[in-house]
């Protein structure tokens, strides 16, 4: 039987601390060779700007194979539709049975914030207390929850183009009892932060490396997986010690890395390591309090597999979802 899980069902099942641990585990598995993560293809037609990315992964430890089909359709904005939609399929690595089909909205948001938390745990200064957010949507709310799981955050400095979005964000996280500053500019956020998360679908850079202060950790999260989109300028990439989730994926999909390499100001060999190498203990993360570290987060299928395992197990335990006999 295959379990079908809707977004509303998944929201109640999501567990941020467990997801952080699971994402760190699969990152380390990728480094150790117990997980497989190919770079995703980007399927497109000359008649459209839409991209379709099949994001596959395999993990022995989780006993799963998975694929998420991500549809990235910027034109949906004109119809007030989501510009990104996705569906995740989980398959038993042992038997090949299709175990579950999940709507991708909730898993993608939670696992993305969890990956930032893993990077922050491994790369940020341990006593960091000020979180800077460029962007204030649902992903920003998830990042607050994720960061509180790994750091003693007391202050949040947030910026968005929309005052209404910032107001909704502040209401959403008010129960955490944090000191919240509504910044007037992106620069104000960057210069105030110990940990900076950029969470916008920017095409042109919003964040300049000249604003980076010693000891800063950056999670560059928001830009679409496209070679010409980025949130951080070239000076910022050169200024930081850069880590990636998957170098093969970043080389193909991350404008934040591809553009400065094309400009000749850095090379792919300047990337310090994949995050899994740091999680596995084979490569160093932060080596001094003055380091500026940057996690260039593109998103990989193993993250979906990790949270998919958790959500599937939780759904079985709680009797949630709809069972379908697909092969009947």
Residues catalogued as catalytic: 68
Phi–psi pair at 147, nearest 5 degrees = -65, -35
Phi–psi pair at 77, nearest 5 degrees = -55, -35
- Between CA 43 and CA 57 the distance in angstroms is 18
Could you tell me which of 33, 104, 35 has the C-alpha nearest to residue 71?
104
Q: What is the DSSP letter of 203?
A: S
**Long-range contacts from 5-9, C-beta under 8 angstroms, 24+ separation:** 5/100, 5/101, 5/102, 5/103, 5/311, 5/312, 5/315, 5/320, 5/321, 6/103, 6/321, 7/103, 7/105, 7/106, 9/315, 9/320, 9/321
In this structure, are residues 146 and 117 in contact, taking their beta carbons and an 8 Å threshold?
Answer: yes
Residue ranges of alpha helices (H) inside 14-76 are: 16-32
């Amino acid at each position: 039987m295959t379990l079908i899980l809707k977004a509303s069902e998944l929201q109640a099942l999501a567990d941020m601390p467990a997801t952080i641990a699971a994402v760190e585990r699969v990152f380390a598995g990728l480094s150790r060779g117990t997980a497989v993560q190919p770079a995703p293809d980007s399927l497109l037609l000359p008649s459209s700007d839409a991209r379709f990315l099949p994001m596959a992964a395999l993990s022995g430890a989780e006993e799963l194979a998975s694929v998420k089909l991500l549809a990235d359709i910027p034109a949906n904005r004109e119809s007030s539709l989501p510009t990104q939609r996705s569906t995740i399929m989980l398959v038993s690595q042992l038997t090949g049975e299709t175990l579950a089909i999940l709507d991708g909205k909730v898993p993608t948001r939670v696992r993305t914030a969890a990956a930032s938390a893993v990077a922050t745990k491994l790369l940020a200064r341990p006593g960091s207390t000020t979180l800077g957010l460029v962007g204030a949507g649902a992903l920003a709310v998830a990042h607050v929850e994720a960061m509180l799981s790994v750091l003693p955050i007391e202050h949040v400095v947030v910026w968005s183009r929309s005052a209404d979005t910032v107001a909704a964000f502040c209401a959403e996280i008010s129960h955490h009892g944090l000191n919240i500053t509504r910044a007037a500019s992106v620069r104000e956020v960057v210069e105030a932060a110990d940990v900076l998360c950029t969470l916008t679908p920017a095409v042109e850079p919003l964040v300049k490396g000249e604003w980076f202060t010693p000891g800063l950790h950056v999670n560059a999260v928001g830009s679409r997986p496209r070679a010409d989109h980025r949130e951080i300028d070239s000076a910022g990439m050169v200024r930081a010690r850069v880590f990636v989730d998957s170098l093969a994926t970043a080389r193909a999909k991350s404008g934040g890395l591809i553009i400065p390499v094309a400009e000749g100001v850095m090379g792919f060999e300047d990337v310090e390591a994949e995050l899994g190498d740091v999680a596995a203990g084979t490569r160093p993360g932060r080596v001094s309090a003055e380091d500026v570290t940057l996690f260039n987060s593109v998103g990989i299928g193993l993250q979906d597999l990790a949270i998919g395992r958790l959500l599937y197990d939780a759904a079985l335990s709680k009797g949630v979802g709809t069972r379908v006999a697909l092969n009947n």
